[in-house]
Homo-oligomer: A and B are copies of this chain.
């Protein structure tokens, strides 16, 4: 059927070992025999079987990537970062979508391992801590993006959520706002929890007491953001500005505000977090915090490669600061 190293050995009238040598650019092989072999390769259109190669080398040059949700708006850029960087190192990427389901995620880990991937990157990974610790105990290279449970010992690429929550709130404060609400996923997600901590810290520093009516908790979706904002608008004294922990919720807030005939930022200022693609397109263009997803994706591969070469768990944590992107949704009072 398909042409193997044996075929081209015959064609070139040499042994398979010699062919293997030129295939892997090993030294000490005669120029002429080299040429003969390369010619045969061309002629028979031969391409090495990485599966067989992987079997003996015990490495696949594949890294596994498990996204907890491929439709997460941050996924594409993150994934592209991973793919691009992996390629630089000569690795291919095998993707899985866990559908936000921990069981599926666990299955994906198993599958990836049976496929002999050389390492795994998990993004937004959920609660499979046991599974991860198991991998770690087997010295299997793993890195996690975003989610760093406090007790985890897995190397992680994270973003400075507390810092960016703080930065966001401070920007609102410095724009003259005092009644600043927060729409958040709260303790439902690590990121929401941390960003809220930043929000509270900034408020505290400014000597403003946090009003629990101003903190609305929901899930990371447009619909939920809208509901949260509606509750805020129903308040007797609504806020003049709102910081949403995730852009999708900010967009939901837009819906609620605009549906009531109010204007942004005229009546209410809105500030998001994540800088997903939509945020620069929606009107008014959303002021938000960029999280450099492409860079994060790349960094996760760098870290994974480190894990792989170190051959023992590094337990590193690299955290990227967010960056405020000023657009049109916040006004100075």
Contact = CB atoms under 8 A, between A and B. Distances in A.
Contacts of A49: 55, 114, 116
Interface string A61-99: 010000000110101110110011000000011111100
Contacts of A77: 71
A74 to B, nearest CB: 11
Given A75-B76, A281-B282, A283-B283, A95 B93 contact: yes
A115 interface: yes
Given A80-B97, A95-B83, A115 B281 contact: no
Given A92-B94, A278-B281, A282-B282, A114 B50 contact: yes
A95 B82 CA distance: 11
Contact of A96 (B1, B51, B92, B283): B92
A266 interface: no
A96 B113 CA distance: 20
A258 interface: yes
Contacts of A94: 62, 92-95
Copies of this chain, count = 2
A96 B62 CA distance: 12
Interface in A100-140: 110-111, 113-116
Given A110-B47, A114-B47, A116-B51, A76 B70 contact: yes
A161 to B, nearest CB: 24
A286 to B, nearest CB: 11
A60 interface: yes
B95 A95 contact: yes
A96 B83 contact: yes
Interface size class of A (residues with CB under 8 A): 35 or more
A205 B96 CA distance: 48
Contacts of A51: 51, 54-55, 60, 115-116
Contacts of A278: 277-278, 281-282
Contacts of A114: 47-50
A103 to B, nearest CB: 13
A235 interface: no
Residue from A70, A83, A255, A258 with most neighbouring chain B CB atoms (10 Å) = A70
Nearest to A115: B50
A183 interface: no
A70 B47 contact: no
27 contacts: A47-B113, A48-B114, A50-B114, A50-B115, A51-B54, A51-B60, A51-B115, A51-B116, A62-B94, A62-B115, A70-B76, A70-B80, A70-B83, A71-B77, A73-B277, A75-B76, A76-B76, A79-B97, A83-B97, A84-B97, A92-B111, A93-B95, A93-B96, A94-B95, A222-B281, A278-B281, A278-B282
Interface of A: 1, 47-52, 54-55, 58, 60, 62, 70-71, 73, 75-77, 79-80, 83-84, 92-97, 110-111, 113-116, 222, 251, 254-255, 258, 277-278, 281-283
| The 4 residue pairs across chains A and B that have the minimum distance between CB atoms | A95-B95, A51-B116, A50-B114, A71-B76
